[in-house]
Structure 1
Amino acid sequence: MKIKTINWVILLAGLLIIGSCKKDNTESTTNPNTQLTLKVTHQVDGKELIFDSMCYVNAGGNKYSVTKLNYYLNGFVLTTKNGDKVYLNGYTYIDGRNPNNQISIGGFSPGTFTNLSFYIGLDPQHNVSGALENSLNNINMAWPEVIGGGYHFLKMEGYYLDSIHAKQGFTMHLGTNEMLVKHVSLPLTITLADNGSSTINLSMNLNEWFKNPHTWDFNKDGNYTMAIPELMTLLKNNGTDVFTIQP
Structure 2
Amino acid sequence: MKKTIALILLLAITFSCNEDMDDNTTLSASVNFKFTHDWNDTLINSSNLETETVTNANGEVINMVRFRYLTSKFKLTNTAGDTYSFEGFKFTDLAEEESYNFTPDINGIPSGTYTLSFIWGFNEEDNIDGAYPILNSASWNWPEMLGGGYHFLQFDGMYNVDTPNPSPFNFHNGTARVTDGLFEQNFATIVLDTPIIITNEATIEVKMNIAELFTNPNTWDLNVLDTPLMPNYDAQKMMQENILSVFTIGEITQ
How does the TM-score come out when normalised to structure 2?
Answer: 0.82
Alignment-derived partner of residue 151 in structure 2 = 152
Alignment-derived partner of residue 7 in structure 1 = none
Aligned partners of 1:179 and 1:233 also within 8 Å: yes
- 1:52-71 superposed matches below 5 A: 52-53=50-51, 55-71=53-69
Q: 1:189 to 1:168 in 2, by over 3 A?
A: same
Quick one: percent identity of the two aligned structures?
28
Q: 1:137 to 1:39 in 2, by over 3 A?
A: farther
Please report how far the alpha carbon of residue 20 of structure 1 lies from its aligned counterpart in structure 2 after TM superposition: 4.0
Q: How large is the RMSD of aligned CA atoms in angstroms?
A: 2.6
State how far apart, in whole Å, the 2-side matches of 1:46 and 1:14 are: 29
State how far apart, in whole Å, the 1-side matches of 2:213 and 2:108 are: 33
Alignment-derived partner of residue 188 in structure 1 = 195
Alignment-derived partner of residue 171 in structure 1 = 170
Q: Which amino acid counterpart does residue 201 of structure 1 have in structure 2?
A: E
Please report how far the alpha carbon of residue 239 of structure 1 lies from its aligned counterpart in structure 2 after TM superposition: 0.6
State how far apart, in whole Å, the 1-side matches of 2:144 and 2:160 are: 33
Match of 1:28 among 8, 11, 23: 23
Q: Which amino acid counterpart does residue 148 of structure 1 have in structure 2?
A: G
Please report how far the alpha carbon of residue 59 of structure 1 lies from its aligned counterpart in structure 2 after TM superposition: 0.2
Please report how far the alpha carbon of residue 73 of structure 1 lies from its aligned counterpart in structure 2 after TM superposition: 0.8
State how far apart, in whole Å, the 2-side matches of 1:11 and 1:220 are: 34
State how far apart, in whole Å, the 1-side matches of 2:21 and 2:243 are: 37
Q: Which amino acid counterpart does residue 237 of structure 1 have in structure 2?
A: E
Q: Which amino acid counterpart does residue 127 of structure 2 have in structure 1?
A: N
1:117 aligns to 2:117 (yes or no): yes
Please report how far the alpha carbon of residue 235 of structure 1 lies from its aligned counterpart in structure 2 after TM superposition: 1.2
State how far apart, in whole Å, the 1-side matches of 2:91 and 2:216 are: 25
1:13-35 Cα offsets, whole Å, 9 max, x none, are: 56344534356475134677842
State how far apart, in whole Å, the 1-side matches of 2:15 and 2:118 are: 19
State how far apart, in whole Å, the 2-side matches of 1:25 and 1:116 are: 18
Alignment-derived partner of residue 135 in structure 1 = 134
Alignment-derived partner of residue 91 in structure 2 = 93
Please report how far the alpha carbon of residue 37 of structure 1 lies from its aligned counterpart in structure 2 after TM superposition: 0.8
Q: Which amino acid counterpart does residue 219 of structure 1 have in structure 2?
A: N
Please report how far the alpha carbon of residue 243 of structure 1 lies from its aligned counterpart in structure 2 after TM superposition: 1.0
State how far apart, in whole Å, the 2-side matches of 1:37 and 1:65 are: 31
1:232 aligns to 2:239 (yes or no): no
1:135-179 Cα offsets, whole Å, 9 max, x none, are: 266541001112211100110111111795411110011112621
Q: 1:237 to 1:117 in 2, by over 3 A?
A: same
Q: 1:163 to 1:41 in 2, by over 3 A?
A: closer
Secondary structure of 1:220 counterpart: coil
How does the TM-score come out when normalised to structure 1?
Answer: 0.84
Q: Which amino acid counterpart does residue 169 of structure 2 have in structure 1?
A: F
Aligned partners of 1:33 and 1:107 also within 8 Å: no
1:71-102 Cα offsets, whole Å, 9 max, x none, are: 11112121102222222221111111122311
Aligned partners of 1:170 and 1:223 also within 8 Å: yes
Q: Number of aligned residue pairs: give it.
A: 234
Q: 1:130 to 1:222 in 2, by over 3 A?
A: closer
Secondary structure of 1:237 counterpart: helix
Q: Which amino acid counterpart does residue 68 of structure 1 have in structure 2?
A: R
State how far apart, in whole Å, the 1-side matches of 2:114 and 2:28 are: 21
Alignment-derived partner of residue 40 in structure 1 = 35
